[in-house]
Amino acid sequence: MKHFVPLILLLTFGCTETLNTDSVQNNNLFVLGKIPEIGDPIPIHDSIGLSSNYELLVTSSQTWPASAFMYEGCTFEIAWSSYGGVKYISTSCHDFVTPEKIQAGMKLKEIDVSKFDKIRTMPGWGHYVELKSGWKAAFCIDSTCTGRPLNGNDKVDWLFKR
């Protein structure tokens, strides 16, 4: 029995260590070499078929089929149309930074107002500002996401393109 204890410990902790792989494998996310542009073909890897998708709310009244992907350590959700072209890209990863140096978690007052023209509101979905790069910084401030006007302390919840 004394000789079996090390073997049992090795198998138990060895197996646990083996199962503790990185998040890409645990989530079965395909790693992107670059972020696609709107209209590009959907970056589906052979091992991730269209059947593994879900519906993503991309406006207050519209959903599109989507999948999650990884790019430089950040998770991106990418939605597409029936012809397979990318229609929507989003991330709430604080490590992703737009060309304008905007990222999720920033306060509105930290964003240089010259980088966007005005705050837009889509009732029931969120407030957002359009950036010159094509990215949009979105804010969801209460249970309806648009129950009051934005103030300078409101934080960017996600970044998206569509």
Task: Answer whether CATH 1.20.58 is correct for domain 22-161.
Answer: no
- What gap in Å lies between CA 95 and CA 104, rounded to an integer? 8
Q: Which of the two residues, 122 and 27, has the higher pLDDT score?
A: 122
pLDDT at site 44: 64
pLDDT at site 81: 82
Amino acid present at 1? M
Q: What is the pLDDT of residues 68-119, one digit of tens each?
A: 899 999 999 999 887 778 999 999 999 999 999 999 999 999 988 777 778 8
Residue 35 and residue 89 in contact, taking contact as beta carbons nearer than 8 Å: yes
pLDDT at site 51: 47
Residue 152 and residue 109 in contact, taking contact as beta carbons nearer than 8 Å: yes
Place of tokens 């490590």: 95
The domain ranges of the chain are: 22-161
CA distances from 23 to 3, 10, 30, 37, 67 (A): 36, 24, 11, 25, 15
- What gap in Å lies between CA 126 and CA 19, rounded to an integer? 39
Q: Which residues of 68-99 are buried (b: 16+ CB within 10 A; e: fewer)?
A: bbbbeebbbbbbbeeeeebbbbbbbbeebebe
Q: Residue 77: which H helix or E strand, with range?
A: strand 74-80
Q: Residue 65: which H helix or E strand, with range?
A: strand 62-71
Mean pLDDT of 3-30: 39
Place of tokens 């999720």: 104
